Amino acid sequence: MLLRPVLALTAAFAGSCDRSAEPAYDGPTYHRDVAPILASNCGECHRSGGIAPFPFTTYEEVAPLAATIAAVTGARTMPPFNLDNGGTCNTYVGARWLDEDDIATLAAWAQAGAPAGEPSGEAPQAPAAWQLDRVDLTLAMPEPYTPDDSADDIYRCFIIDPGLTEEAFLVGFEVRLGRPEMVHHLTLYALDSEQDEADAAMLDAAEAGPGYTCFGDPLVPSRWLVGAGPSDRGRMLPAGTGLYMGAGRKTVLQMHYNRSQGTFPDQTAIDLQLAASVPHEAFIERVEDPFLELPPGQSAVVEIDTRELREDFTLWGVWPHMHGLGAQLRVTAERPAGEQCLAQVDDYQFHWQEFSFYERPVRVHAGDTLRIACTYDTTSRDTTTTWGYGTADEMCIGFFYVTEGFVPGSE
């Protein structure tokens, strides 16, 4: 019984007169533990010329931010990703998501005073940019566009004619941003009728300069084709699927510019890979609550709507969409056997919305009820907020990338 305190005392004594015997710090260090986490999870944006306001490439840049990095990763505001990728409600291809161990490492490192440790070899690099292996068509903004200074965030739509003489299916895309530090995200939409094209042309003609102002979507009936979030180079759409592009039909490219790092002329282009046919034509379906009416001054207003399915579908991806008051969003499929979670957003950031594809496609069945619940914080408002396209209006939509029937590999 007496042995323990004696031993402890001996150890303490030995430590105080022989410094070399002091237990060395064996917690996380910058070079060994932190730099690799930052390179692979943050480096795509936090590098020079990237969309984030400061780079994380050297110890000197990162160390002063250790506590902030621990805080934002602990709260999961960085890396930015709206959907819950934790595994209880699906996981997503290429999700920007730290695992719990990495969050703990960053916290322990900040707690220990951000020790540098010893560099070993080359500094870790952010993963190399992905590239399309074949380009069939390039859609480019017709001329450079310089956003005006009316706001920090500018949404501008440009009509682009792909010049397709035959119908085709979009199967992959690669984005070539003009000014990456100013482009927050882009979305390419198909126009499916002459009327929609004429309406878009009218909006374009009504404003000076190339394109027209368009918050949220192109303001005319349109169909999603391509979406790329910040720093996203592009991807192949899920194998065996593709999106229809009509012969002779036009497209609209919506650019979301963020001017926090400066204002420049931008001329962005998108390379497309096309197929003459695909085994499974994909569609964009939605669950939404277009009748929402949000009373002001409340920290949590919940809007719920449902939609009953008449057919079997395979769901490949989801894009949760609300505007600036949106806080949480959840989409489920309800059936007698129970509830299946399709999408969960715990801390919605308008800035970071985009399409994400499931690692495992999900089956929903004829007879299922799809249910969407959107939660809003209206404490900043003093009048009722309703559905609409404006920045001050709201929406509650789950867009889904779907194919008809069940596809092998889905569950």
Cβ-based nearer residue to ligand HEC, 230 or 242: 230
Cβ-based nearer residue to ligand HEC, 33 or 44: 44
- Give the C-alpha distances (Å, rounded to integers) separating 94 from 87, 101, 260, 294: 14, 18, 26, 34
User: What CA–CA distance (Å, rounded) separates 169 from 247?
Assistant: 11
Cβ-based nearer residue to ligand HEC, 47 or 223: 47
Return the bridge partners of 174, or none. 234, 271
User: What CA–CA distance (Å, rounded) separates 302 from 328?
Assistant: 9
Residue with the two structure tokens 């496609």: 361
The least CB distance from residue 94 to ligand HEC, in Å, is 11
Q: Give yes or no for residue 52 binding ligand HEC (CB under 6 A).
A: yes
Amino acid found at 25: Y
The least CB distance from residue 56 to ligand HEC, in Å, is 7
Cβ-based nearer residue to ligand HEC, 127 or 297: 127
Cβ-based nearer residue to ligand HEC, 218 or 317: 317
Q: Give yes or no for residue 251 binding ligand HEC (CB under 6 A).
A: no
Q: Which are the contacts of 11, defined by CB distance < 8 A and separation ≥ 6?
A: none
Q: Give yes or no for residue 85 binding ligand HEC (CB under 6 A).
A: no
Provide the Cα torsion 286, 241, 83, 305; round to 10°.
10
Cα end-to-end distance, the chain, whole Å: 60
Q: Which are the contacts of 355, defined by CB distance < 8 A and separation ≥ 6?
A: 224, 227, 317, 318, 319, 399, 401
Which pair of tokens denotes residue 62?
């990162």
Q: Give yes or no for residue 53 binding ligand HEC (CB under 6 A).
A: yes
Q: Give yes or no for residue 41 binding ligand HEC (CB under 6 A).
A: yes
The least CB distance from residue 131 to ligand HEC, in Å, is 19
User: What CA–CA distance (Å, rounded) separates 107 from 125?
Assistant: 22
The least CB distance from residue 103 to ligand HEC, in Å, is 9
Residue from 394, 273, 406 nearest 323 by CA: 394
Cβ-based nearer residue to ligand HEC, 323 or 371: 323
Site string for ligand HEC, 63-82 (x = CB under 6 A): --x--xx--xx----xxx--
Binder to ligand HEC among 28, 30, 39, 44 (CB under 6 A)? Answer: 44
Cβ-based nearer residue to ligand HEC, 53 or 297: 53
Site string for ligand HEC, 86-105 (x = CB under 6 A): ----------x-x-------
- Please state the length of the chain: 411
The least CB distance from residue 42 to ligand HEC, in Å, is 3
Q: Give yes or no for residue 42 binding ligand HEC (CB under 6 A).
A: yes
**Given the rule CB under 6 A, which of 4-12, 37-45, 115-123, 215-223 is the region that contacts ligand HEC?**
37-45
The least CB distance from residue 171 to ligand HEC, in Å, is 25
Binder to ligand HEC among 51, 183, 282, 407 (CB under 6 A)? Answer: 51
Residue 213: which H helix or E strand, with range? strand 212-213
Residue 329 near residue 373, CB atoms below 8 Å: yes
User: What CA–CA distance (Å, rounded) separates 394 from 325?
Assistant: 7
Residue with the two structure tokens 């730099």: 35
The least CB distance from residue 36 to ligand HEC, in Å, is 11
Size of residue set near ligand HEC by CB under 6 A: 21
The least CB distance from residue 104 to ligand HEC, in Å, is 13
Which pair of tokens denotes residue 92?
């997503």
- Give the C-alpha distances (Å, rounded to integers) separating 209 from 149, 263, 328: 14, 16, 37
Residue 274 near residue 169, CB atoms below 8 Å: yes
Residues 204-233 that bind ligand HEC (CB under 6 A): 230-231
Given the rule CB under 6 A, which residues bind ligand HEC? 41-42, 44-46, 51-53, 65, 68-69, 72-73, 78-80, 96, 98, 230-231, 351
